[in-house]
Chain A
């Protein structure tokens, strides 16, 4: 039971990190990232492949984080002159292309065979019995770090600028702000967070293959952000727990409806995610915890 609890908590942390990344890009910056799972996958693969080249786990993770940050910034630049809807499809296109590349370029990624034997950071220093708990601690440290950075950022001039470009990019531009640069930076930082989440994913499972990374990850992140309240980091923290608890809880359906097989059960759980997402959008668009704001809350635009 303890190990199940630890495993669930690790998943909560990873999901929450993805949610926080999306919250920065979409919640604060208004930039839709449907290709979230692609950057996450890039982080996981970069971290694992660098490790295969002999780099220590932590160094591989840091490099992976820089790589996803750079990739994110570049992808955001494709939509230079466009509105947010285009960014959604551009990021999705990037993620799909990356997934195909990873699936077929076996010389680099071992394709569908996947990468086994990924080593967790400091694994050799910790006794086997404590390994999972120690890794949970490692994940929590990253979560705390990201949370503090984001929280400070949201209240900094850059956070205000980000919100300003979300509300009206034209006005921000007219005030002499370089909107493109603001967006590229927020995308890079979000990418770095997804790189962390992806690396933790690789460490946790110690084996990765392309089938682990699908749009479902994107859907979870959107659910966390919408449930938590767009723009609110604390909200995402609460929502990350709620989303994973719901998903884990729905596993119990197997006991209630025994004639369903595994894939049917998975289908029900995913439909449930969709229905909840829609219900939140329609009935509680501001989420559980409202965003930190200066001044009065404007109507939804």
Chain B
């Protein structure tokens, strides 16, 4: 029973790991809290749904197409909104991202309406693994998120752009002097952020439904996860997400499940009072 709860918690933690990583990545490189992350999750899920539902493409193909489109959208938003505001305070960018979120979410509503939708996936019996009941969605989540995380890690670790991102995160001025292209790094960050948000949107959609509120409902847990890890350290956000997922699941033992958000808030409040730099506060760039 307890093992099952912990397993469920880890998987629901994986659902918020990608947006949390995306949030922390944008924060550490572009220096602002991207409030639009929830809307990016929603928009990504709907883009994939557009290919999977009305156009009837197979899901993997639809995911690829949806990710490509959402990357294009993120780059467009960067050009239109965030690039003109570069150099302004983090708070200004934060307020701009609330505007971006508002526009994205309501465009989704305008086009797709308020009714929840589902991806075309067959329902399968839960499998038994080491005495745990594992749903098909959980398995898909596990595989997809771990693969995505591995991919992001490889990009950070072994590519020039990955090192450039770390350099900009560490010291933007120094990176400038060393001739690292801010433009390229920024574009890469947005592309990665959008891709991760979209993938998690699809997984959340498979787990429950696709609806215009979905990203918003995950906003607070995502921020909590990122803060838990230490918002300036992207990979720690993943650990924060897992920890939060397990905490939320264990909290259902003595709190009704609709209070998940409250659990996230309380965890965050306590953490901010006791250990404001996150549980894993050391900066990831100093390796």
A282 in contact with B85 given A85-B33, A88-B33, A100-B262 (CB within 8 Å): yes
Least CB distance, A271 to chain B, in whole angstroms: 4
A278 touches B227 (CB 8 A): no
Contacts of B259 in A (CB 8 A): 100, 104
A93 in contact with B269 given A267-B107, A270-B102 (CB within 8 Å): yes
How many angstroms between the C-alpha atoms of A86 and B106 in the bound complex? 25
> What's the tally of chain B residues with a CB closer than 8 Å to chain A?
44
> What's the tally of chain A residues with a CB closer than 8 Å to chain B?
45
A92's nearest neighbour on chain B, judged by CB, is B220
How many angstroms between the C-alpha atoms of A17 and B269 in the bound complex? 28
Name the residue in A84, A93, A266 with the highest tally of chain B Cβ atoms < 10 Å from its Cβ.
A93
A residues bordering B, Cβ < 8 Å?
26, 30, 32, 34, 78-86, 88-90, 92-94, 96-97, 100-101, 104, 218-219, 222, 226, 263-264, 266-268, 270-271, 273-275, 277-278, 281-282, 285, 300-301
Contact of B265 among A26, A88, A97, A222 (CB under 8 A): A97
A166's nearest neighbour on chain B, judged by CB, is B91
Binding stretch for chain A, among B47-55, B62-70, B92-100, B188-196: B92-100
Binding stretch for chain A, among B108-116, B141-149, B155-163, B234-242: B108-116
Could you list 15 A-B pairs, sorted by A, with CB under 8 Å? A80-B273, A82-B272, A86-B272, A86-B276, A89-B33, A92-B219, A93-B261, A100-B261, A104-B256, A222-B95, A222-B98, A271-B106, A273-B102, A274-B99, A285-B92
Contacts of A94 in B (CB 8 A): 265
* Residues in B74-132 with C-beta less than 8 Å from chain A: 81, 84-85, 88-92, 94-96, 98-103, 106-107, 109-110, 113-114
A277 touches B102 (CB 8 A): yes
A268 in contact with B106 given A100-B262, A278-B99 (CB within 8 Å): yes
Extra contacts, 7 of them, besides A80-B273, A97-B265, A263-B113 (Cβ < 8 A), are A93-B220, A104-B256, A264-B110, A277-B99, A278-B81, A281-B99, A282-B85
